[in-house]
Amino acid sequence: MLDREKKKKVEQEVAFLVRVVFTDEITEHDPLEELQGLTETAGGLVVGGMTQRRDKPDATTFLGSGKVAELAQLVSFHAVDLIIFDNELSAAQVRNLESLLQVKVLDRTELILDIFATHAQTYESRLAVELAQLEYSLPRLKRMWTHLSRIKMGVGMRGPGEKQLEVDRRLVEKRISELRAELTAIEQRRERQVNSRSGRMKVSLVGYTNAGKSTLMNTLTDANVLAEDKLFATLDTRTRRWQLPSWGPVLLSDTVGFIRRLPHHLVASFRATLEETRQADLLLHIADASSPDVLRQIAAVYEVLQNLEIDEKDTLLILNKIDQIESDDALAALQNRYPHGICISSKVGTGLENFARAVSGALSRSFLNVEVEGSIADGKLMAFLEKNGEVLERRYTEDGIWFHVRISAMHAGRIAQDGVVIRDHESGHVINFHAADPEWEKIKRRRETTES
């Protein structure tokens, strides 16, 4: 705890943390550790915290009455400026707590939205944050103007409080509609931009916030992306060219980190920003192996990927920051839990050669061994195969030209759309690149068997 003299020297709001842990909930190593990191990232000065285990929240104050009384004493003792809950509160609960404690009260979602608003640098991310904030505040407009609703204006006439509420709601809904339309246009434009780079394989970094994604990107590409020991230091997508050893150039993207119980408003609002991730050929899930809560962080990332409907993408788990793990036993336990995880330290460079080989191997899994038939006059097809595949053999026939080529499924599908006949080299059957085609399903199963 800080003494009062030290608090006076720091221009920060003094914060006290609270979390209600429900009986069916499994708590982390430190139930308030993540909330403390969020609060410090937002610029708050944490002087203490409390938890309470309950079957369900109190409808009036979320906490029990005894805990509220205890919290009031702690607020007075520590000269607290704000209370931050690691739960989501209703507008009525916030208002009741502020009335009883006489300090500002925030919940987890509002704190995260505040951090995002502070860190949003580009026009796109600022729009996404504004949309999330408005969607969060819209249902909380109710009863904000009740101090005016006591003024009656006769039968059939609304009081000014109700009128003001309707005006506010209409303005917020109008702005939400405008932001959604603008972000939809940005998402479509981003999708076109990503598709225009289809000549390169795309790799995207995902992971829990502060897992070291930006540091890894800087190490691999000299991208000079902001890398700080803070939650949500990066909100905007950055894509750089990475010369992958024994493979060639690929496009590497870094974007916003995820978090446990990430507000759904943010997931929806940042869909345009996450377009690079949805269009990637390979996801690199970066996890902080030194965190005592690494297992829950990994699970939280997979949950967000599922919400984004990209959880079935080919993904490599990268266990980062192994240089900060306190004991060899802890690392061995983690490796035993995730035997296919790749251990690295992006800061000191440990394991990066093995990491690059694993990425090359994962990208190779998306390649097919096929036969391509085309017209001898189709110079465009020949150039495309030479550029995007590995031509193993070519043969001129009476009908045109025949290639035996190793090429990615993505590029093979592109030329198949132009009417080019593509056959599986092993079976000789024509591939239609459609989910309902049994031959394509057979090839995918064969690749999955090889991978496992």
For residue 260, give the CATH number of its domain: 3.40.50.300
Query: What pTM, to 2 d.p., does this model score?
Result: 0.70
Mean pLDDT score across all residues of the chain: 79
> Does some domain include residue 83?
yes
The reply to whether 347 and 434 lie within a common domain is no
pLDDT of 355: 93
Specify the CATH number for the domain of residue 58.
3.40.50.11060
Question: What domain range includes position 418?
Answer: 367-451
Backbone angles phi, psi at 23, to 5 degrees: -60, -25
pLDDT for 13: 87
pLDDT of residue 310: 78
User: Is 395 a residue whose pLDDT tops 50?
Assistant: yes
Q: Do 263 and 136 share a structural domain? A: no
Report the pLDDT value the prediction gives residue 345, as an integer from 0 to 100.
93
The whole-angstrom separation of Cα 279 and Cα 432 is 21
- End position of a domain, from candidates 194, 215, 248: 194
In degrees, rounded to 5, the angle at the alpha carbon of residue 322 between the alpha carbons of residues 320 and 328 is 145
Is pLDDT of 315 > 60?
yes
**Predicted confidence (pLDDT) at residue 4 exceeds the cutoff of 50:** no
For residues 271-292, average pLDDT: 81
Residue with token string 């000191």? 348
Cβ within 8 Å of residue 199, ≥6 positions away: 387, 388
Instruction: Determine, yes or no, domain membership for 113.
Output: no
Q: pLDDT value at position 162?
A: 52
In this structure, the answer to whether residues 213 and 101 fall within a common structural domain is: no
Instruction: Please say if the pLDDT value at position 9 is more than 70.
Output: no
Residue 269 has a pLDDT of 62
Note whether 181 and 157 are same-domain residues.
Answer: yes
Query: pLDDT tens digit string along 11-32?
Result: 678 999 999 988 777 666 678 8
Amino acid at 412: A
Q: Are residues 354 and 206 in the same domain?
A: yes
Cα separation, 52 vs 45, whole angstroms? 22
Q: From the CB of residue 25, how many other CB atoms can be counted at a distance below 10 Å? A: 11
Amino acid 418: pLDDT:
76
Same domain, 286 and 432: no
User: Which is more confidently placed, 248 or 264?
Assistant: 248
- Report if residue 116 sits inside a domain: no
What's residue 123's pLDDT?
81
Q: Look at residues 318, 346, 364 and tell me which one is the last residue of a structural domain.
A: 364
Whether 219 and 325 map to the same domain: the answer is yes
Q: Is pLDDT of 305 > 60?
A: yes
Q: Quick one: average pLDDT of 376-393?
A: 82
At residue 188, the pLDDT reads 80
Q: What is the pLDDT of residue 139?
A: 75
Domain end residue (candidates: 194, 212, 237): 194
Higher pLDDT, 436 or 243: 243
| Structure confidence at residue 144 (pLDDT) | 46
Q: Are 288 and 145 in the same domain?
A: no
Of residues 196 and 116, which shows the higher confidence score? 116
Q: Higher-confidence residue: 11 or 139?
A: 139
Distance CA 67, CA 430 (A): 70
Average pLDDT of the residues in 95-107: 91
Give the pLDDT confidence score for residue 367 in this predicted structure.
78
Answer yes or no: are the C-beta atoms of 450 and 365 closer than 8 Å: yes
The least confident of 72-76, 161-165, 394-398, 405-409 is 161-165
Instruction: Assess whether 211 and 335 both reside in one domain.
Output: yes
CA distance 272 to 439: 34
- Region 87-92: mean pLDDT is 88
Phi, psi angles (nearest 5°) of residue 419: 90, 5
For residues 205 and 323, membership in a common domain is answered with: yes
Does 111 map to a domain?
no
Residue 307 lies in a domain: yes
Residue predicted with more confidence, 257 or 370: 370
> What CATH number is attached to the domain comprising 430?
3.30.70
**Which residues touch 276 (CB under 8 Å, ≥6 apart)?**
190, 194, 202, 204, 237, 239, 253, 255
Residue 158 lies in a domain: yes
| Higher-pLDDT residue of 415, 94 | 94
Shared domain check, 382 and 342: no
More confident residue, 142 or 401: 401
Residues for the chain: how many in total?
Answer: 452
* 216 shares a domain with 348: yes
185-202: average pLDDT: 71
Of residues 402, 396, 355, the one with CA closest to residue 374: 402
For the segment 219-239, what is each residue's pLDDT rounded down to a tens digit? 898 766 555 555 555 556 778
Q: Is-contact 72 17, C-beta < 8 A?
A: no
H/E/C letters for each residue in the chain?
CCCHHHHHHCCCCEEEEEEEEECCCCCCCCCCHHHHHHHHHCCCEEEEEEEEEECCCECCCECCHHHHHHHHHHHHHCCCCEEEECCCCCHHHHHHHHHHHCCEEECHHHHHHHHHHHHCCCHHHHHHHHHHHHHHHHHHCCCCCCCCCCCCCCCCCCCHHHHHHHHHHHHHHHHHHHHHHHHHHHHHHHHHHHHHCCCCCEEEEEEECCCCHHHHHHHHHCCCCCCCCCCCCCCCCEEEEEEECCCEEEEEEECCCECCCCCHHHHHHCCCCCHHHHCCCEEEEEEECCCCCHHHHHHHHHHHHHHCCCCCCCEEEEEECHHHCCCHHHHHHHHHHCCCCEECECCCCECHHHHHHHHHHHHHCCEEEEEEEECCCCHHHHHHHHHHEEEEEEEECCCCEEEEEEEEHHHHHHHHHCCCEEEECCCCCECCCCCCCHHHHHHHHHHHHHHC
Q: How many domains in the chain?
A: 4
319 domain-assigned: yes
319 pLDDT band, cuts 50/70/90, is very high
